[in-house]
Amino acid sequence: MVRRLVVLDYCGTLCPSVCRFDVGYWLKRSGLSTLGFTEKSYWKFVSDTWEDAAVAGTPFQALLRAEAAGGAKAAAGADVDAAVSSFVEAYWNAHIVHPLWFEAGALPPAARVLLAVSAVLRAPKKSPAFWETLLYHEALQTNAIVVATDHYSDACEPLARHLGSDRTEVLSRVHRTPARADQFPYDEVVVVDDFGAAERPAACYPERSAETERVLRSVLPAGVTLRIVRFTPGNLDNVGGAIEEAMAQLNPHNGCSG
């Protein structure tokens, strides 16, 4: 019997709608706009901080608070903590797993879920270090579904909540085992990812898919089959069809490892 490990991308795949999070609305609603944030400055802040945060493990809320506190209006007495907390809460609440993934059997109620967050593993998801730490982690010696994401360290609690806190374990870099190919217990690895297609449907980022495949092949043992399933929800009007197509490629009867 083939032992299969399925790795599901979170943002854009399990949760395609987060790519449509209304930043402008929540900047105003939270009060961050009164502290000087615009959509443009917010996305610049994210672009400038997320990859370093993935390596250093710095929480999103701490980074956002530091950025907001540095503005002139914050110095004038604006409530930075309330504005930041309001925005961050709305942002994490928007990371809801699309219910069709549960209904289709990608995340069965009894399944054990391992959550791999880049800021906890201290490496961006695109790097060999991320995948090597994940694939050879001691927690993968027993059956589980893996959910992987590039995110800040404080994503762990809300994402685990959306996946089911009682059955979700956040993988820690500290408890990894040495990367030994002879200990890898799977015959096949299947990665399901949108590679940016949920964010920008016209682009679909084919180069991201190719790069992920290259990196994974560089860390997987020889003889292990690798399959990349590309999730393409289009403009989010066809999420149901895209999930059905992805599940058909996964094979619903063997959708989790084991």
pLDDT tens-digit profile of 43-89?
999 999 888 888 888 999 999 999 998 765 554 456 899 999 999 99
Asked if residues 54 and 126 have their Cβ atoms less than 8 Å apart, the reply is no
- Name the band, by pLDDT with cuts 50, 70 and 90, for residue 157: very high
Average pLDDT over residues 242-249: 91
pLDDT at 199: 76
CA distances from 21 to 27, 87, 95 (A): 11, 11, 9
Nearest C-alpha neighbor of 111 from the set 226, 240, 255: 255
Tens digit of each residue's pLDDT (9 = 90 or more) over 106-139: 999 889 999 999 999 998 898 999 998 899 888 8
Give the predicted TM-score (pTM) of the model: 0.89
Q: CA Rg, the chain, in Å?
A: 19
Average per-residue pLDDT in the chain? 87
| pLDDT band of 257, cuts 50, 70, 90 | very low
